[in-house]
Structure 1
Amino acid sequence: MRSFAELTDQARAAIENQDWICLAQLMDQNLDLRRSIYTDDCLGPGNMMMIRLARQFGSAVKFPGSGGAVVGLCLDQAKLMEMRQAFQEAGCVFCLISPYSPSSGADGDPR
């Protein structure tokens, strides 16, 4: 649990510094830690399929909760639409997410 907490602290700093490369690496470390604890068999074939698919396109990926969905960070916009198509062809729902910052105005500028 301490390792997860350390990754979370580092991820927060990466977000605050807008260091998306570091955030992507931390997301992958988080998932790899979870896999080492629970094993791929326990995580399930559907979850593992989504992980493999995201990583196939170079996207960082982790579980946002207890499974059944993944959240990814794709830094290569050219691959994003290809990845979306691959997820949809695999029967997955693919949503683009734009994070919200309560400290930003409606136009995204800090207040």
Structure 2
Amino acid sequence: MAILKHKFFKPFKNWFILILTAFIIWMLFFDDNSWLIHHELNTDVEALENEKEYYKKEIEKDNKAIKKLSTPDGLEKFAREEYYMKRDNEEIYIIEYEDSLKTKKNE
């Protein structure tokens, strides 16, 4: 009982303070709406908002690509660059440089 006579434990002799302390600890850590759960949910919301911004930028980039492909010149340029298509009266030579080749060293 000598421990309870210490200066630090004096406020905890009051029942209201004991109940209030228990309530605060319960609300911060153990309740369904605790601070820990709110913190975790806020982190998730922030991550989802960052992901939302990323996808908005990707949508804008894709819309620009769609606009370029909607013109005949843009479509022809894309077909020539990506699928190596050509007109009937043309010859295409593909020149590959050593640093652009995929090898095990630079993959």
- TM-score with structure 1 length normalisation? 0.23
Larger Rg: 2
Higher relative contact order (CA 8 A, sep 6+): 1
**Higher helix content, 1 or 2:** 2
- TM-score with structure 2 length normalisation? 0.24
